[in-house]
Amino acid sequence: MMAALIDPDKNDRRSLVRIVQNSQMADIDFFFIGGSLLIKDELDQTIALIKEHSEIPCVLFPGSVMQISSKADAILFLSLISGRNPEFLIGNHVIAAPYIRQTSLEVIPTGYMLIHCGNTTTAHYISATLPIPSDKDDIAAVTAMAGEMLGFKLIYLDAGSGASHPIRPSMIEAVRQSVEIPIIVGGGIRSALQAKQTYDAGADILVIGNALEKNASLIQQLAEVAKNPGVIKG
């Protein structure tokens, strides 16, 4: 499966409509909406615009308790299990829970793991946590294993916005062998070949973000890989 990550701060109306239309034509599965740091108060407007031009489900990918909207269809209830900051393990969740309960959002408990892939990203800085080194496959595997045992329904491996390279296939393979729940992988994916390597390694859902903002037509190439991993274009 495939998701397009939309940061409400990074797209004007025209570019967002273009991305949504391209995503609709590519028949992607989800829009993930959110970011590590939102400066503009445009979350609701962004979701409304997406729904105006598409029937693809909108899933909140919140960077903080401020990023909750009843206009979305679901929310990834993220616990940052790769770090040791209690606010992102459980603290913010306690604050957010009563607000989410008042909505009709589908809540998806997700074990979120930041992976260091070349650059210090906004997510690393805002979360005040150390990401898992890109070559520590064993640490990633047992962290994901613990997350599954704790009851999370998804594991999200994220290199972060602006990562210089994707998560290594060997790490994805190690996590795939350690858990049975679906694995989401995002960050640093900029080509069909990288997408194929990610799927082949065991990812169930691929997330494309920054590269999509720079090249909206890229979504079509990557969607073709998702539908047929044996085909590479670009």
User: Can you list the pairs that 223-232 forms with residues at least 24 positions away whose Cβ atoms lie under 8 Å?
Assistant: 223/2, 223/26, 223/27, 223/28, 224/26, 224/192, 225/192, 225/195, 225/196, 225/199, 226/1, 226/2, 226/28, 226/195, 226/199, 229/196, 229/199, 229/200, 232/192, 232/193, 232/196
Q: Say if residue 144 carries a ligand binding annotation.
A: no
Q: Are 98 and 67 in contact (CB under 8 A)?
A: no
Q: Say if residue 162 carries a ligand binding annotation.
A: yes
Q: Say if residue 210 carries a ligand binding annotation.
A: yes
Q: Say if residue 160 carries a ligand binding annotation.
A: yes
Q: Say if residue 158 carries a ligand binding annotation.
A: yes
Q: Say if residue 29 carries a ligand binding annotation.
A: no
Q: Say if residue 186 carries a ligand binding annotation.
A: no
Q: Say if residue 159 carries a ligand binding annotation.
A: yes
Q: Say if residue 44 carries a ligand binding annotation.
A: no
Q: Say if residue 41 carries a ligand binding annotation.
A: no
Binding-site positions for Mg(2+) read 7, 36
Binding-site positions for sn-glycerol 1-phosphate read 156-162, 187-188, 209-210
Binding-site positions read 7, 36, 156-162, 187-188, 209-210
